[in-house]
A and B are shown apart, each in its own frame.
Chain A
Amino acid sequence: MSLSVHDLTITRGGIPVLEGLNFSLEPGRALILRGPNGVGKTTLLRTVAGLQPPLSGRVDCPPESIAYAAHSDGLKAMLSVTENLNFWSDVFGRKDISAAIQAFDLAALTDRMAGTLSAGQKRRLGLARLLVTGRPIWVLDEPTVSLDTASVRMFADAVRAHLQAGGSALLATHIDLGLSEAEVLDVGPFRAGPNSTVPGGFDEGFL
C-alpha cells in the first residue's frame, strides 16, 4: 500500500509548474509538502489523487487506495452531520461512522444541518469523512484551514492513529502538526523553469 511518484511533471492551465518530482510514501509514514503559495501543491495533490493527468512521469499506487480532501469539503448544507457522513461511508462501502464522529468530537452536533455549522466545525466534518472512507493513503490539501488549536491537535491525533494503523498521509500544510513520523518535502526547488526539458510543456510544438 505504498505510494510512489517517479519523475513527475505537472501542469496548471497547460503550463508546467513542477517538474522532476520523485518521492515515495511507505505505510506508517507521512509526507508534508511545503512551498510558497502558487507553487503547485494543490495541482500536485490533484494529480496524485488521479483527478488530472501528469504531463510526464507516473504515480504508482494501488487502485482505489487514496482518500482525497480538498479545500472544499463536499458537504451538503441541507443534510445533517450524520447524513453527510453516512452518505460517504455508503459510497465507500463501509457502515460504521461512530469512530469518525468520536475522533473529531462531532457527537454533540450529529443532528445539526451541515449548513448551520461554523467553518471550523464544517472542516472537522470534512476531515471525519476521511475516516469513513477506510482508504489507506490520505491526500490532504491544507487540512487545518479554519481549525482552532484544539481541533488541530485532534486532527494530528487522527493522522497519528491512521499512521499507526498502517496508513499513510500526504499533506500540504504550513502548520507544524508535531508528527514525529512526518518527513518534509519542500517542492520549491522543483519549480519548472523556462528551459523545461520535458516534451509537451509550453505547447512546445507551437514554438
Chain B
Amino acid sequence: MGSIWEYANPVKFSRTAGLVLPWVSIGATVTLVVGLVWGFFFTPDDYRQGSTVKIIYLHVPSALMAINVWFMMLVTSLVWLIRRHHVSALAAKAAAPVGIVMTVIALLTGAIWGQPMWGTWWAWDPRLTSFLILFLFYLGYLALWGAIDDPDTAADLTSVLCIVGSVFAVLSRYAVNFWNQGLHQGATLSLDKEENIADVFSTPLYISIAGFVLLFIALVFLRTRTEIQKRRTKALLARERLG
C-alpha cells in the first residue's frame, strides 16, 4: 500500500472518490434519516424547553461542522502551500460553500431556537457573535476564489487568506468573549448544551452528527471531483489550442 499522498494525483483521487462516493452517500442518508427521525419523534420533550429542544439535532451538528470545515480548509490550504498538490487546494475550494451553508444553518436554527427560549431572535451572545464572524470569513474566502481567474494564483491567495484568517478568527473568538462580558451578563440559559444534555437525547444526537460528517464527506468528494473535471477540461482545451 502506498502513502496517502498517492491520492494527491487528481486522476487517482477522482477514481477512488468515485468508488467511495455511493457508499458514503448511502451512509449519510441512512444516518441522517435515523438520527433526525429518532431525535424529532422518539425522544421525550424536555421538561423546561418542551419540544423546541429537538432543534439541537440540526443545530449542534451544523455548528460543529461549521468550525470543522474551516479547520479542514486550513489543513488542506497548508498542504497546498507546502506540497503543491492541486487536489488539496481544490478540496478546500469545494469545502467552503458547504462550510458557509453549515454556518448559516447553525445561525438560523439558533435564531429559531432562541426565539421561544430567550424571547429574542438574536442576542449578541459570544457564541452567536463568533459564528457571525466565522460567516464573514467564509464570505471573504469564497469571494476571493470567485474574483481570481488563474486557478493556481487563486489557490495560493485563498490559502494564505485561510491561514491568516484562522489566526484572526481565534483572536476574534477571544475578543468577543471579553467584549460581551463587559457589556451584559451571560445568557439566562446556558448555551453549553453538552453539559446539561441527558442520555436519552444524546444517542440520536451522535447519530445526527455522524450523518452530517458523512454528508460533508460526500459533498466534498463530489465537488472536488467536479472541480478536477473542470480543470481537466481546461487543460485539454489549452492543449488543443496549442496543437
Q: Residues of A at under 8 Å CB distance from B?
A: 13-15, 192-194, 202-207
Q: Flag if B243 contacts A193 (CB, 8 Å).
A: yes
B240 within 8 A of A: yes
Q: Flag if A14 contacts B151 (CB, 8 Å).
A: yes
A-B contacts counted at CB < 8 A amount to 39
Q: Flag if B232 contacts A206 (CB, 8 Å).
A: yes
On chain B, the residues within 8 Å of A192 by CB distance are 242
Which residue of A13, A194, A203, A204 has the most chain B CB atoms within 10 A of its CB atom? Answer: A203
Q: Residues of B at under 8 Å CB distance from A?
A: 9-11, 86, 150-152, 228, 231-232, 234-236, 238-240, 242-243
Residue of B nearest to A11 (CB): B152
On chain B, the residues within 8 Å of A15 by CB distance are 238, 242
Cα A202 to Cα B10 in complex, Å, equals 13
On chain B, the residues within 8 Å of A13 by CB distance are 150
Q: Separation in Å of the A143 CB from the closest CB of chain B?
A: 28
Residue of A nearest to B87 (CB): A205
Pull 9 A–B residue pairs with CB atoms less than 8 Å apart, ordered by A. Answer: A15-B238, A194-B239, A202-B239, A203-B234, A205-B86, A206-B86, A206-B235, A207-B11, A207-B236
Q: Separation in Å of the B238 CB from the closest CB of chain A?
A: 5
Q: Separation in Å of the B227 CB from the closest CB of chain A?
A: 10
Q: Flag if B11 contacts A14 (CB, 8 Å).
A: no
Q: Flag if B235 contacts A202 (CB, 8 Å).
A: yes
Q: Which of B11, B152, B239 contacts A205 (CB 8 A)?
A: B11
Cα A13 to Cα B151 in complex, Å, equals 9
Q: Separation in Å of the A192 CB from the closest CB of chain B?
A: 7
A14-B152, A205-B86, A206-B86 known; A194+B234 contact, CB < 8 A? no
A14-B150, A14-B152 known; A205+B10 contact, CB < 8 A? yes
On chain B, the residues within 8 Å of A205 by CB distance are 9-11, 86
